[in-house]
């Protein structure tokens, strides 16, 4: 972790030191409840259905109240799994196909509305809750965006899904490879090796939630949460789409801050070992504010209404000088956290589209023309403030299968090449009232609908950027602005013609990025382009069951390059995370995989009060 940290301003330091002993001398429940974390979401999350938690923002919200079998250790240098609702690591059969999980006995559902469980504290989580969650992933009626995780892997589950579609099965119908032998024993039996299976059980798709929740609320259940986590969703104080408020779960089980043995050298060097052994969570309230405009986000950071924030594009030069936080902010005690992200941003075409997709024999020429028409270096400069690396494939640096020497032969900015490709696809260029445009033989103009993934000022600027450069090579562009859930709904329904997305690692394995191009993962799965290439699929299926090693990495490398010629996905960038942290936020440690880390974080309310006064003074 790269961390730019400077000493506190003298007044802040004196006040903090003077009061630190008093604040740390005891930590009662009332002390915890008086403290709040204030986080930001740059887009609206979707409703609370784990089976369709396909985006970062929805997963972030769900991870506050819901839990899975496993989680990632918070303070290790690498990403390591540890049990959460599982009572230890699973027992694996000699053939590597049967996994037996034990479920802990002290994890209980909590219902703040007392509608599902009248006493508030509900029953203990059971093995059957995970069977239910996995069946919902497979149920065709749910149209889960997470079914790709297990499709083709669990004995009998695909057959059960087919029977559900035919109306010949119910949720009570047994599945051979998915058994709750008793309340504390879950047995999952595979049809083939699945090296990533434990990662899957740390993802939101597999979180435990009670079937009683659905039975109680009917179709409206997706606006409620009944989980086992350290916080419960406070419906009364929340405003869906605007602010999500979570409160400390009464009587939550005795989970503690990581032991010294589980705190890596980087976290120790940052002083994050001081709370080792303390009971979690450390604050009473967690707020998530939906703020789509960068200017508003920056204002709330500067007034202390947010504990930390990424840096909006328009404020980057003001906040960062020579890759360090500007001195005036450092003087107040703010610090800058810089980290490489395991992610990729990309554009995608709907490969079912009659003009831009596979049905058009010249569709590949048109897609390659769009790729040549868009200057990625300008995207990285303008929208990412040069805090990103140009992507050659979908696989980011740091994972097996990434080749730093390979360059995508189709990714260079070349408008003349774009026009040549359009001409090769059978279009002719003529002047029009809108400028020079490409026309098909039947006289229709070559047009492309850009589906924006938001409706903020920044989203509009992105769209106008694409329109400018695509117009320049003769392509007419229609812009559709909409909120993020609406955009995702269009993608899931296969009606979005062209758009852009980012993918952050669900788990630290290149397979998590390569599966974006796997044919059976078409939307509502993660294959947003609905791309299908039988040769790619066969190689992917071969690699997917291999254990880590050089042979698998070689296949990953080959797979990462295969799609470049088809250009269904246009890789753009691998981003760096730049985040400004207020000095009162304690135990912040960058994690790019997993979620649910709010329970480890703390705030110093006295230091917060002093720093806010300093911020106000600096603004005058």
Task: Give 197-262 as a DSSP string.
Answer: HHHHTTSGGG----HHHHHHHGGGGGG---B-SSEEE-TTT-BTTTEEEEEEPTT----BSPPGGG
| Contact criterion met (CB below 8 Å) for 191 and 154 | yes
Top-confidence residue, 11 or 439: 439
Residue 1 clears pLDDT 60, i.e. is over it: no
Check residue 348 and give its pLDDT.
98
CA 402 → CA 69, 187, 269, 407, 555, distances in Å? Answer: 30, 35, 29, 11, 11
Check residue 28 and give its pLDDT.
55
Written as six digits, the tokens of 381 are: 């400069």
Q: Are strands 320-321 and 324-325 parallel, antiparallel or unpaired?
A: antiparallel
Check residue 616 and give its pLDDT.
87
Q: Distance between CA 384 and CA 211 in Å, rounded?
A: 43
Closest CA to 349 of 512, 475, 506, 483: 475
Check residue 18 and give its pLDDT.
36
pLDDT, tens only, 186-224: 999 999 999 999 999 999 999 999 999 999 999 999 999
Q: Distance between CA 494 and CA 270 in Å, rounded?
A: 46
Place of tokens 């392509």: 475
Residue 14 clears pLDDT 70, i.e. is over it: no
Q: Delineate the domains of the chain, giving CATH numbers in brackets.
A: 1-48+57-65+229-332+583-620 (3.40.190.10), 67-222 (3.90.76.10), 343-576 (3.10.105.10)
| Contact criterion met (CB below 8 Å) for 350 and 494 | yes
Question: In the chain, what percentage of residues exceed pLDDT 70?
Answer: 95
- pLDDT band per the 50, 70, 90 thresholds, residue 611: very high
Least confident residue range of 17-21, 223-227, 386-390: 17-21
Closest CA to 581 of 332, 283, 244: 332
Q: Distance between CA 304 and CA 316 in Å, rounded?
A: 18
pLDDT, tens only, 146-180: 999 999 999 999 999 999 999 999 999 999 999 99
Question: In the chain, what percentage of residues exceed pLDDT 90?
Answer: 94
pLDDT, tens only, 274-296: 999 999 999 999 999 999 999 99
Residue 620 clears pLDDT 90, i.e. is over it: no
Query: Residue length, the chain?
Result: 620
- pLDDT band per the 50, 70, 90 thresholds, residue 30: low
Closest CA to 61 of 272, 241, 308, 283: 241
Check residue 22 and give its pLDDT.
38
Check residue 15 and give its pLDDT.
39
- pLDDT band per the 50, 70, 90 thresholds, residue 21: very low
Q: Are strands 70-72 and 81-83 parallel, antiparallel or unpaired?
A: antiparallel
Query: 92-98, long-range: CB within 8 Å, 24+ apart, which pairs?
Result: 96/190, 96/193, 97/189, 97/190, 97/191, 97/192, 97/193, 98/187, 98/188, 98/189, 98/190
pLDDT, tens only, 560-607: 999 999 999 999 999 999 999 999 999 999 999 999 999 999 999 999
Closest CA to 380 of 411, 337, 336, 415: 411
Average pLDDT, the chain: 94
Model-level pTM?
Answer: 0.89
Top-confidence residue, 13 or 334: 334
pLDDT, tens only, 316-332: 999 999 999 999 999 99
Residue 579's H or E segment, with its range, is: strand 569-581
pLDDT, tens only, 511-521: 999 999 999 99
Check residue 8 and give its pLDDT.
33
Check residue 618 and give its pLDDT.
73
What DSSP designation does 522 have?
B
């Amino acid at each position: 972790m790269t961390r730019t940290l400077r000493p506190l301003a003298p007044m802040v330091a004196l006040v903090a030191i003077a009061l630190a002993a008093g604040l740390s001398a005891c930590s009662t429940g009332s002390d915890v409840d008086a403290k709040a974390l204030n986080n930001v979401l740059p887009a609206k999350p979707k409703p609370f259905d784990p089976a369709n938690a396909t985006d970062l923002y929805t997963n972030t919200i769900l991870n506050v109240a819901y839990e899975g079998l496993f989680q990632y250790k918070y303070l290790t240098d690498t990403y390591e799994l540890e049990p959460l609702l599982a009572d230890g690591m699973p027992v694996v059969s000699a053939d590597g196909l049967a996994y037996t999980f034990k479920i802990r006995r002290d994890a209980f559902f909590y219902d703040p509305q007392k509608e599902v469980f009248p006493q508030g504290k509900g029953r203990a989580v059971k093995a059957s809750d995970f069977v239910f969650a996995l069946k919902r992933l497979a149920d065709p009626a749910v149209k889960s965006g997470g079914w790709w995780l297990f499709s083709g892997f669990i004995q009998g589950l695909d057959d059960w899904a087919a029977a559900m579609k035919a109306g010949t099965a119910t949720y009570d119908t047994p599945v051979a490879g998915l058994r709750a032998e008793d309340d504390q024993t879950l047995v999952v039996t595979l049809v083939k090796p699945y090296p990533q299976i434990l990662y899957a059980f740390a993802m939101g798709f597999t979180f435990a939630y009670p079937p009683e929740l659905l039975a109680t609320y009917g179709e409206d259940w997706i606006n409620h949460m009944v989980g086992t986590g350290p916080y419960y969703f406070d419906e009364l104080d929340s405003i869906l789409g605007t602010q999500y408020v979570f409160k400390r779960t009464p009587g939550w089980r005795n989970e503690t801050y990581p032991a010294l043995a589980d705190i890596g050298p980087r976290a120790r060097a940052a002083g994050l070992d001081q709370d080792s052994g303390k009971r979690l969570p450390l604050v009473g309230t967690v707020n998530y504010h939906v703020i789509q405009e960068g200017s508003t986000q920056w204002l709330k950071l500067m007034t202390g209404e947010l504990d930390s924030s990424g840096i909006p594009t328009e404020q980057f030069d003001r906040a960062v000088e020579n890759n360090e936080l500007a001195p005036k902010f450092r003087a107040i005690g703010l610090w800058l956290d810089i980290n490489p992200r395991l992610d990729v941003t990309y554009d995608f075409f709907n490969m079912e589209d009659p003009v831009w997709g596979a049905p058009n024999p010249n569709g590949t020429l048109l897609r390659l023309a769009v790729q040549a028409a868009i200057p990625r270096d300008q995207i990285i400069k303008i929208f990412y403030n040069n805090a990103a690396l140009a992507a050659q494939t979908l696989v980011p640096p740091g994972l097996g299968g990434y080749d730093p020497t390979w360059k995508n032969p189709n990714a260079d900015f070349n408008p003349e090449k774009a026009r040549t490709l359009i001409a090769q696809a059978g279009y002719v260029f003529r002047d029009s009232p809108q400028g020079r445009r490409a026309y098909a033989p039947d006289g229709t103009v070559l047009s492309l609908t850009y589906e924006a993934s938001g409706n903020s000022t920044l989203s509009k600027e992105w769209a106008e950027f694409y329109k400018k450069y695509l117009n320049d090579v003769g392509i007419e562009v229609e812009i559709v602005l909409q909120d993020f859930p609406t955009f995702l709904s269009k993608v899931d329904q296969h009606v979005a013609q062209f758009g852009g997305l980012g993918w952050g690692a669900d788990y630290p394995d290149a397979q998590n990025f390569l599966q974006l191009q796997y044919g059976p993962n078409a939307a509502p799965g993660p294959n947003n382009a609905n791309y299908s290439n039988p040769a790619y699929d066969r190689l992917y299926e071969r690699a997917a069951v291999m254990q880590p090693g050089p042979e698998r990495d070689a296949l990953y490398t080959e797979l990462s390059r295969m799609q470049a010629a088809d250009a269904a996905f246009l890789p753009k960038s691998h981003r760096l995370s730049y985040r400004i942290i207020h000095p009162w936020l304690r135990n912040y440690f960058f994690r790019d995989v997993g979620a649910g880390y709010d329970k480890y974080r703390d705030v110093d309310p006295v230091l917060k009060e002093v720093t806010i006064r300093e911020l106000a003074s600096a603004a005058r």
